A and B are shown apart, each in its own frame.
Chain A
Amino acid sequence: SHAAIKIQPMRQFFSSGHTNNWAVLVCTSRFWFNYRHVANTLSVYRSVKRLGIPDSHIVLMLADDMACNHRNPKPATVFSHKNMELNVYGDDVEVDYRGYEVTVENFLRVLTGRLPPSTPRSKRLLSDDRSNILIYLTGHGGNGFLKFQDSEEISNVELADAFEQMWQKRRYNELLFIIDTCQGASMYERFYSPNLMALASSQVGEDSLSHQPDLAIGVHLMDRYTFYLLEFLEDIHPSSKANMNDLFKVCPKSQCVSTPGHRTDLFLRDPGSALITDFFGSVRKVEITMETINLTEPIHFVNEERQKETYSYVDQLPVSEIIHQKPKQKDWHPPDGFILGLWTLILLVFFKTYGMKHLKHIF
């Protein structure tokens, strides 16, 4: 490429130094009439998977189940376009956080990595300092907050602090933040960490509008911004050279009715040099080697001396055994608060009546 011929230090400026890609896609709305938010998230999921990011590197959070909802006339499908053209749910989806698990606390824990030790790998964001992360949020929002599941909110200050924690812990190389809610631009106003680029579907004081309803399903299927974003991404393939300036042009006011906004002042490179596939696709570095590698000796199964006892199946409902079952030994627990209090009272009254000198006789 041309960059290689130029001076070596300039190369760093034109290409991203990332080695792996992650995506955190969150839908924060519950209830059937918020079908479009789930469809939004699933269409970004679909594009990101198609461009190469594997399921193990995607944390997908859906606050409610639309596909198998009993109101869905076509179960196991989520459509993005009326006339049911594109099923964004697909046959190969893996949702990591679903239903009640999508909370502000879990979202911030995923971002900062502070999860309980028994959390499985598929629910963790195991990024390092050479990861490019795409974060996509959608739902109902307002000036400075995003509503989670109709019961709690995340504010723009919390989000900015979470990103700063990620930066200090070196959990990302570059981060692209996309938000599709009403007054979405307010959510990126407070960012202050480097290497962040943000896109929102509407400015402060504007509402993001939904695209079109489907009369058979009965709800709006997608939001306008994400609909045109999906259309744009369908044209991107893994080796495409489209850059972020093309992404900023998605959904102008004539199509979106709201004015999409973006913020690039914290991003150290020129947005024109950042490729779409830097965030939506996946970098795979393949090294071809001609060396031969010696594998270890295969483990031979040694037929050890097995026990000679005979096993048998257990009786499933041994009536006589159950009737004559001894009550199991209860573990001894130290006396509970009430009993302790009662005994203390009794002892106190006893010693008050009979005097403290009697204590000597006892001990």
Chain B
Amino acid sequence: VCVRVCVRVCVCACVCVCACVCVCVCVCVCVCSSVPQPKDDFQEELVIRPLHSGDIYASFQFRTLWETDFMRGNKVSHYRLFPKSLGQVISKFSVRELHISFTQGYWRTMQWGQPFLPSPPGAELWVWFQDSVTDVDGTWKELTNVLSGIFCASLNFIDSTNTVQPSASFKPLGIGNVTDHRFLRYATLPREIVCTENLTPWKKLLPCGSKAGLAVLLKSEKLFHSSFHSQAVHIRPVCQDWQCKTTSWELRQTLNVVFDLHTPGQGKLEWSLFKMFSRTLTEACPLASSSKIYIDITDDPQGEQFEVSPATHLLSQAMVLGDRRTFSVYDLTQQITFGTVRSLNLLIRWKSRDMLRPLLHAERYVAGYGLQTGEIHTLMYNNHPYRSFPVLLLDSVPWYLRLYIHTLTVTSKGKDNKPSYIHYQPSKDRVRPHLLEMLVQLPPNSVTEVTVQFERALLKWTEYTPDPNHGFYVGSSVISSLVPSIVAMDTNSTREQPLFSSFFPCKEESSYFMRVYTEPLLVNLPTPDFSMPYNVICLTCTVVAVGYGSLYNLLTRSFQIEEPSPGLAKRIANIIRKMRGVPPL
């Protein structure tokens, strides 16, 4: 604290604010003489993109950059903008990269286009460990437990039955030289529910919390009343400057939400910040070096079909998802953005919008009938008119769906399409899931279908969940691809770019990297009738009681002959005869 205050205002303020006078003064003197580089930096931004169907897509990104080194034995003890809980996780578990996301809903690519940061439904966690870790599986188990406490999620259900080690997908997104996939672990929990209890600790990781800046808009009652909600945390080492000789740690917290047109009741193509979030903005986060809002106005720069108010003259162009898009920019660090009312409520009105036709799109479904066998079909669409590109398909299927890999077929346009790389790791019952990775070249303007048959296993009765008739989930397939881009992408990674366009590193100009997730599958397993143990006990006990009891009676009881008692008239007659002394009847 002393050092920070010293940099801003010299000597005087330092003395009265800090309790330890002598220490503060001497530090003040030596630091104020030179201009120090900021050790950590925080940026926040919000991108709003109106969609073709009338829905609106809002993407928040909060990035903290910190020039520190968790790895080299430096004991990091002063945390300022970087949250301490995550810093301790990184240094304790020797994490090189961590990506965790919680999603509610499924991203509809055909209606909404491509998201800036894709995520599968449920929870997804993938981690690259440093090469100094000796027991990766043990460290992975401890890491998932610690993260389940930090994010209030059931991540402790991640164990060897749903963790896989991809051999070619999920290359590190940060810098580094090591790419030995022994240090990579990937797991999904498609059943995981996302609610306010996951948002609360996520908001607490931000430097300004939810009190100032863009995070005041994050109110759970509006965020979860939407078609799609996804929050994620990405930690990775990045280059500090263009020379890339030193690294700094980057923490990105992203939140993507798509608001449904018809939910609030109105049907008009008119959205405002107040309608979306039930809040307006009054100030930027004081700890942020940049705080901006971008509105995608690409289809109509003249403002005829599209209207944004209050108007702004700041425009920016960015290359994102293979396309050059134009954005109106609102800079929240400038006071004039808020105008005279000291609050910013953006109003966006439009009449119609072109559909962004996605070049790559995927679907998955289960075919077949009955509770014994089935077939998984994965369809991948290449909508480019003349270019073909490679995709890497990663499928992780739980062990209780026994895949028959000899029935795997990959067809495009009716003909067999042999993948150039297949990695298959068979499952082991109750130990690990199936892992299937294939590199397939998608021909232009075609549909590629991957089918594989499976058989359902019978679980032990203690392995069923308390609601087994709901079904069992199979995680989403991941399709990673290099999609040809319409405009030349920018390969210079250290140029000042908006956050939403600088997540995936770009190595070549003609294509960009993209990931698409398919739907998760819900499969019914043969479920026993759980009332049967009770019924069986009742029936067996009844049979035993009736059968054995009867036999016991027959064997152990002795029989006597008994005279039936005479009728009333005869009894009176016998009494009279007894009185007379005559033998009875």
Contacts and interface: CB of A to CB of B under 8 A. Distances in A.
Contacts of A319: 390, 420, 439, 482
B193 A68 contact: yes
A312 B195 contact: no
B324 interface: no
Contact of B141 (A118, A294, A295): A118
Given A67-B195, A298-B23, A317 B493 contact: no
Interface in A48-105: 65, 67-68, 74-77, 89-96, 98-101
A325 B149 contact: no
A321 to B, nearest CB: 8
Given A91-B219, A98-B154, A150-B466, A317 B482 contact: yes
Given A120-B146, A322-B168, A76 B196 contact: yes
Contact of B145 (A119, A298, A313, A323): A119
A312 B175 CA distance: 5
Greatest chain B CB density within 10 A among A119, A322, A323 is at A322
A311 B245 contact: yes
The binding surface of chain A is classed by DSSP as: loop
B479 to A, nearest CB: 11
Contact of B245 (A98, A294, A309): A309
Interface in B84-111: 104
Contacts of B352: none
A317 B150 CA distance: 32
9 contacts: A93-B196, A94-B197, A95-B152, A101-B154, A119-B145, A120-B150, A298-B3, A311-B176, A319-B420
A353 interface: no
Contacts of B390: 317, 319
Interface of A: 30-31, 65, 67-68, 74-77, 89-96, 98-101, 116, 118-123, 149-151, 292, 294-295, 297-299, 301, 306-319, 322-323, 325, 328
B245 A306 contact: yes
B392 interface: yes
Interface in B408-438: 420-421
B200 A76 contact: no
A65 B223 CA distance: 16
A317 B195 contact: no
A311 B175 contact: yes
Interface string B329-369: 00000000000000000000000000000000000000000
B172 A312 contact: no
Contacts of A318: 171
A314 B176 contact: yes
A306 B219 CA distance: 44
A145 to B, nearest CB: 15
Contacts of B505: 313-314, 316
B480 interface: yes
B220 interface: yes
B466 A151 contact: yes
A107 to B, nearest CB: 14
B116 interface: no
A75 B227 CA distance: 12
Contact of B197 (A95, A100, A149): A95
Interface in B45-79: 75, 77-78
Contacts of B246: 306
Given A314-B179, A317-B481, A325-B421, A68 B141 contact: no
A101 B156 contact: yes
Contacts of B168: 322, 325
Contacts of A151: 466, 530
Contacts of B77: 299
Greatest chain B CB density within 10 A among A75, A93, A151, A328 is at A75
Contacts of B255: none
B467 A31 contact: yes
Chain B interface extent, by class: 35 or more
Contact of A65 (B27, B157, B195, B221): B195
A67 B145 CA distance: 24
Contact of B157 (A100, A120, A308): A100
Interface of B: 2-3, 19-20, 23, 27, 39, 75, 77-78, 104, 141-142, 145-146, 148-150, 152-154, 156-157, 167-168, 171-177, 179, 181-182, 193-197, 200-201, 219-221, 223-225, 239, 243-247, 390, 392, 420-421, 439, 465-467, 480-482, 493, 504-505, 507, 513, 530
Contacts of A74: 221, 225
Nearest to A313: B505
Closest CB pairs A-B (n = 9): A120-B149, A313-B505, A68-B195, A118-B145, A311-B175, A76-B224, A149-B466, A75-B224, A316-B513
A100 to B, nearest CB: 6
A311 B152 contact: no
A297 B482 CA distance: 52
Given A77-B221, A96-B152, A322-B392, A313 B193 contact: no
A86 B400 CA distance: 44
Contact of B513 (A306, A312, A317): A317
A76 B219 CA distance: 10
A50 to B, nearest CB: 16
B184 to A, nearest CB: 12
Contacts of A101: 154, 156-157
Nearest to B180: A328
Given A74-B225, A322-B168, 16 more contacts: A76-B220, A76-B223, A76-B225, A98-B152, A100-B465, A119-B145, A298-B3, A299-B77, A299-B78, A311-B175, A311-B244, A312-B244, A314-B171, A316-B505, A316-B507, A316-B513
B436 to A, nearest CB: 14
Contact of A93 (B3, B173, B197): B197
Given A123-B149, A308-B245, A94 B221 contact: no
A301 B171 CA distance: 32
Contacts of A312: 175, 244
B34 to A, nearest CB: 13
A91 B203 CA distance: 11
Greatest chain B CB density within 10 A among A101, A317, A318 is at A317
Contacts of B156: 101
Given A31-B467, A314-B172, A315-B507, A295 B154 contact: no
A111 to B, nearest CB: 18
A91 B196 contact: yes
Contact of A322 (B176, B194, B421): B421
Contacts of A99: 154, 193
B412 to A, nearest CB: 17
Nearest to B146: A120
Contacts of A311: 175-177, 239, 244-245, 247
B534 to A, nearest CB: 13
Nearest to A66: B195
Greatest chain B CB density within 10 A among A30, A76, A121, A319 is at A76
Greatest chain A CB density within 10 A among B220, B420, B466, B482 is at B466
A79 B256 CA distance: 27
B244 A325 contact: no
A148 to B, nearest CB: 8
Contacts of B201: 94
A316 B504 contact: yes
A325 B244 CA distance: 28
Nearest to B222: A76
A325 B193 contact: no
Nearest to A122: B149
Nearest to B1: A298
B546 to A, nearest CB: 29
